[in-house]
Amino acid sequence: MGHNVDTSSISFTALYTGHVWYANGLSDDAFHTRRGSFFYHALAPFELVGKSLVGGDIKTFLLQRHHLIDHLACKAIEEDGVTQVLEIACGLSPRGVRLCEKYKSLKYVEADLPDMAARKHRLLAAEHLLSPRHQVVPLNIFSRDSVDSLETVIDHAFDRNKPLLVITEGLVNYFSTESISPFWQRLAAALGEFPTGIYLTDNYPLLDDHPFRRTMRLLGGMLGTVSRSQVSFHFGSDQQAVEHFQAQGFADTTVHNPRDYYDALPIPRTRGNPFVRIIEGRVGSDTSE
């Protein structure tokens, strides 16, 4: 009772983030939106302030997480034999298009709330990018026993005899740990039915020893007000994140810090310790003891 499970207000950040990808050469003209461009330029003064205070602006953190998720997704495809991917809360992410172009046998299912899923479906259809191996479906992470539930989408879209990768980017920090944890538990259980199940998600830990804890809380509150959502910082350390994900059913959990990939990936650098992390959780019949 009292948990905020309304996901309808996140379209603001989906449009803004979509323009970040476009402005930085990660997607083409089909992904450009006028509202996304408006949000992108409207936030520029706040980003200048944030960069001066904490050593990096919102765009920097978004690009760090996007490049790092791309890298880990490609690694899962090339090293773990992943041939099917579900990206939840896909928004205007160009990742599905890029990966389907790079890996010709990959099945990629993008999922979002009905309005955003319909918008993404129209976008891909206009570019003749939809096919049996690249689809868009509605999904609400809080639905149960319905056509748009996590379990139903996985049952209908994927081969349980092959590894599955699930990605959420820009989603989980809009819900409290108490609200989002049941979804993580359900996801771990669903992925456990595959030979290998891998989950990648971004997270913004409010590190106990970070000198800008109060600033991050202030920025989180501002973003929550703009997007009409609850912005949550789930963990006080990377170890807390590992322990929590293990408790949800991801026995093999790794937290990736963008700082460790500065020399390997074309990602912008922040001053000091980056705020964003990518959590990689693994389960599955081939990984369980």
State yes or no: pLDDT of 252 exceeds 60. Answer: yes
Q: Greater confidence, 68 or 224?
A: 68
Task: For residue 172, give Cα distances in angstroms to 95, 123, 141, 236.
Answer: 18, 25, 10, 16
Residue from 246, 224, 227 nearest 235 by CA: 246
Residue 1 tokens read as 């009772």
Q: Which helix (H) or strand (E) holds 283?
A: strand 277-283
State the burial class of residue 239 (Cβ atoms within 10 Å of its Cβ: 0-12, 13-18, 19+): exposed
Distances (CA, A) of 289 to 119, 215, 255, 284: 42, 43, 21, 10
Which pLDDT belongs to residue 38? 52
Instruction: Check whether 146 has a pLDDT greater than 90.
Output: yes
Question: How far, in Å, CA of 15 to CA of 47, rounded?
Answer: 17
Residue 44 lies in a domain: yes
pLDDT for the residue numbered 143: 96
Distances (CA, A) of 140 to 21, 51, 122, 152, 277: 24, 34, 19, 11, 24
Q: What is the pLDDT of residue 37?
A: 61
Of 167 and 287, which is predicted with more confidence? 167
Q: Would you state the pLDDT for residue 11?
A: 65
pLDDT band at 242 (very low <50, low <70, confident <90, very high): very high
| Band of pLDDT at residue 287, cut at 50, 70 and 90 | low
- pLDDT score of 158: 98
**Domain of 278: which CATH number?**
3.40.50.150
Check residue 6 and give its pLDDT: 43
233 is a domain residue? yes
Question: What is the Cα–Cα distance from 268 to 62, expressed in whole angstroms?
Answer: 10
Q: What value does the mean pLDDT take over residues 57-66?
A: 84
Q: How would residue 35 be classed by pLDDT, with cut points 50, 70 and 90?
A: low
In a domain, 2, yes or no: no
Residues 69, 45 contacting (CB under 8 angstroms): no
Mean pLDDT of the chain, nearest integer = 83
pLDDT at residue 192 tops 70: yes
Number of domains, the chain: 1
pLDDT in the model for residue 273: 82
88 falls within a domain? yes
Highest mean pLDDT out of 37-46, 51-60, 177-186, 201-210:
177-186
Taking the model in full, what pTM does it have? 0.85
**Which among 119, 121, 190, 116 has a CA at the least distance from the CA of 149?**
190
Is residue 288 assigned to a domain?
Answer: no
Query: CB-based contacts of 91: which residues, under 8 Å, 6+ apart?
Result: 13, 14, 15, 17, 18, 112, 116, 120, 170
Most confident stretch, 44-48, 82-86, 216-220: 82-86
DSSP string for residues in 124-175? HHHTT--BTTEEEEE--TT--SSTTSHHHHHHHH--TTS-EEEEE-S-GGGS
In a domain, 69, yes or no: yes
Q: Work out the average pLDDT over 119-145.
A: 94
Between 211 and 261, residue with greater pLDDT:
261
- Residue 211 within a domain: yes
252: tokens are 């093999």
Residue 31 φ then ψ, to 5°: -95, 0
Q: Express each pLDDT in 110-128 by its tens digit.
A: 999 999 999 999 999 999 9
Do the domain assignments include residue 289? no
Supply the range of the domain harboring residue 142. 8-283
